[in-house]
Every structure is written in structure tokens, then in C-alpha cells.
Amino acid sequence: MLKNISIFNTIFNDAPQPWQIGFQDSAAPGFTGIVELHNTIFFYLVVISVGVFWVLGSIIYYYNSKKSPIVHKYLNHGIDVPFQKCFKFNNLNNLNYIRFYSTTPSSHVNSIKFYEDAYSMKNSIILDNKNKSGIYKWTNKLTNDIYIGQSVELAKRFIRYFNLSYLRNRAKRVISRALIKYGYSNFSLEILEYCDIADLTEREQYYFDKLNPKYNTLKIAGSSSGHKLTEETKTKISQSLKGIYVKEKSALYGRTHTEETKALMALKKSNENNPLYGKTHSEETKELIRQKSLGRKHSEETLLKLSASRGYLVYIHEKCDSEGFNLIGSFVSIRRAAKFLGISHNTVRLYINSGQIFKDRYKFTGGTPK
């Protein structure tokens, strides 16, 4: 009787059963691997789904300015951006000029536009300020030093600022050296106000007096033309730039002037255009030049170049029975030819002038270098 009760019988699921939950028993190693892969994939899908829904739930919960008033760029929008206007535009018709990029500008004055990262936002900086004139401010986020400037065409001015060649050519300006040294990403840019071209100098002077910008060496608004640097300032600039733009960093590195350019340069500095034209060194200057030259040692390469440019080329031919004379060497001076044979340079000069054969073996010829 107990044999008829299924609980005491062994059930073999070698074949699929109606309404079974899992896979049928595998009869081959390949199918066993497929079943294990299926179980593993679904395990990780469950884990990923739990994580994704947890993140979505957190975002939905924290996306609320009342529950989380502190600005957080990953969790919520933060508080409302305050509305500010330029003193020049006091009516609602000019709202298209107003745009904000941060709720925490770095200055104590209200600005029209604020760009936190000048490098990443340079395209917006140029597009937003096209065909506009106004006052702008650079702020070093590391040192908090600022620079105030004006421009009748802000977009063009900023295009020049983002050109490293332009900055290097104007390295005497403090703001240019600062942008090169710290990088654009460490500077924020603000448009303090848009105003008419006629009011630029007046408004720039207003911000000079109020903010006292450190990067502005001139504290009077307007053009810096006609301003002469003191000798102390020139010395400081020279010392700070010494050894920077050399070799590969030099603007003329790897370039050579054409013969036409060399001729024009020589012509430009000839006769009256030469700064030393009609001048003679004093005895004191000559003595200083002589003292400076004492003890100076030229390299072997330099000595060869000097001899080649100012010396007397000498060719030594050796007598051969069958072929006459063969050239065995050329020298940049008589002294070097004499040293090669271990004789006096006067002997070489004598045989060059006479055309005779030295010891019935060597023949000397020479001439000035071309």
C-alpha cells in the first residue's frame, strides 16, 4: 500500500513535466553550462535593478528645494537664481541681455553675467558678448586678484584673450602673464555692465576706484599709450621673462631668413640707419671690450669657423710616380697646414709663393676662402 503513495517513490525528471517551474534536468555538460549562465545573468540583473531604482528613488526624494535648500549639482536644482539688472537697462525691454551662470559671483558688485570657468565656457563667452561694448573683470580663483577692462567689442577682445600667441606678444601686461601662468580654468570672467562706447572710460574708472584691481598697473582708465615704464619695472619684467622663451619656445625657433629678407634687414640698418653710424668707441670703451675678451676661450668648432672665414685655404698635394700629384688634405690656414707636416708656417708660405716642391714630395697651393 505504501508503494502506491508518491511521497515514498523516487521521481525522475528526465523529461519535462506540465507546469514545471525550472528547466528540465540536463543530460549533457553543455546544457548544464547554459543553465548556470542563465542563473548568473538573472542574479546580476536583480542586483543592478535594485541599485538603479535606489538611485532613482533618491533623486526623486531629494529633488525638492524645501527639503534640501543647499545647492547640490547632482541632487537638486537648488534655490531660485536672483534677478539682477544693469544700471543702464532699467526696463523690461532689455531682459534679453540678462543671463546668469552662477548664484555666487566672486565680487562685491553686481554683475550682468558670470562665467565660473573661463576655459570651458569660452564659446558662450564669445557668443553672448558679440557686438556689445562694456566693462569686464577677470578674477584669479587661486589668489583672488582681479583685472578690470573695457572694450568697444567684447567678443573680439575675448577672442584675443583666448589666443596664447596674443598673450605672449603682450607679456609685459600683468594679466597676460597671469593667464599664461595659472591657465584659463583658474580664472572666472564677469561682465560688470554693458554700456555705451562714450561711457566706457567713466565706468571703468568707477570700478577702478571701487575694486582697486591688482592686475591693473595703471589706475587711470583709458588707453595706456604714451605710458613709460620705469627702469625698475623694466628690470623686473626682464628678470621674470629671462630663460622662458628660448629654444623650442622661441617664436623664431627652426626658422631661417631668406636671402631677400637678409638683404632688406641689412639695408634697413645701413648708413644713417645704423645706430653706430658716425660713432667711434672711446678709449675707455675699447679697454672695457679688451678686458672682456681676455680669458675667453673659443671652442674648436668656433675656431675652425673663424679660420675658414678669415684665413687662407691651403691644399697639400703629395707626389706619386704614376699619377703625378694627389691631394692629401685641405686646411683652413697656413698654420694648420704647417702643423700637419710638422714644419714652420713660414716655410709653407715660402713654397706657396714660389710654387716649388717641398723636399721633392709635397706641393702647396692656396687661396682666399669663397
Cβ(102)–Cβ(116) under 8 Å? yes
DSSP 8-state code for residue 108: S
* CA–CA distance, 171 with 178 (Å, rounded to integer): 9
Cβ(190)–Cβ(114) under 8 Å? yes
Tell whether the torsion through CA atoms of 89, 91, 93 and 99 is positive or negative. Answer: positive
Q: Which domains does the chain have, with CATH numbers?
A: 27-78 (no CATH), 92-221 (3.40.1440.10), 304-367 (1.10.10)
Residue type, 228: K
Cβ(157)–Cβ(166) under 8 Å? no
Number of neighbours of residue 102 by Cβ within 10 angstroms: 16
* CA–CA distance, 99 with 190 (Å, rounded to integer): 11
Cβ(146)–Cβ(140) under 8 Å? yes
Tell whether the torsion through CA atoms of 342, 343, 349 and 354 is positive or negative. Answer: negative
Listed in sequence order, the residues at least 6 apart from 230 whose beta carbon sits closer than 8 Å to its beta carbon are none
- Its pTM stands at 0.37
pLDDT, position 311: 63
The arrangement of strands across the sheet holding 324-331 comes to 324-331, 313-320, 362-367, 357-358
The residues with which 326 forms a beta bridge, in sequence order, are: 318
* CA–CA distance, 216 with 224 (Å, rounded to integer): 11
DSSP of 95-153: GGG---S-S--SSSS--SEEES-TTTTHHHHHHHTTT--EEEEEEETTT--EEEEEESS
CA distances from 364 to 213, 279, 315, 341 (A): 76, 43, 6, 12
pLDDT, position 13: 52
DSSP 8-state code for residue 82: P
> For cell 591657465, what's the residue?
183
* CA–CA distance, 109 with 211 (Å, rounded to integer): 9
Listed in sequence order, the residues at least 6 apart from 157 whose beta carbon sits closer than 8 Å to its beta carbon are 136, 149, 151
* CA–CA distance, 94 with 132 (Å, rounded to integer): 13
The arrangement of strands across the sheet holding 134-140 comes to 113-115, 187-194, 134-140, 146-151
Relative to beta strand 313-320, strand 324-331 is: antiparallel
* CA–CA distance, 338 with 306 (Å, rounded to integer): 18
* Closest of 177, 186, 173 to residue 119, by C-alpha: 186
CA distances from 224 to 60, 158, 271 (A): 56, 19, 34
pLDDT, position 101: 42
pLDDT, position 190: 93
pLDDT in tens, the chain (370 residues): 555 555 555 555 556 667 666 677 777 888 888 888 888 998 999 999 999 999 998 888 776 555 554 444 444 444 344 333 333 444 434 434 444 344 344 446 788 899 999 888 989 999 999 999 999 999 999 999 999 999 999 999 999 999 988 888 888 888 999 999 899 999 999 999 999 988 888 898 889 888 989 898 877 776 554 456 677 777 777 777 677 767 777 767 777 888 888 888 888 877 777 777 778 888 888 888 887 777 777 677 776 676 666 667 888 888 887 667 878 877 877 888 888 888 888 888 888 888 888 887 888 887 654 4
* Closest of 140, 134, 148, 170 to residue 220, by C-alpha: 148
CA distances from 97 to 8, 56, 113, 138 (A): 87, 37, 9, 20
The SS3 call for residue 269 is coil
Cβ(203)–Cβ(150) under 8 Å? yes
pLDDT, position 348: 84
- Residue 60 has which C-alpha cell? 526623486
Cβ(138)–Cβ(151) under 8 Å? no
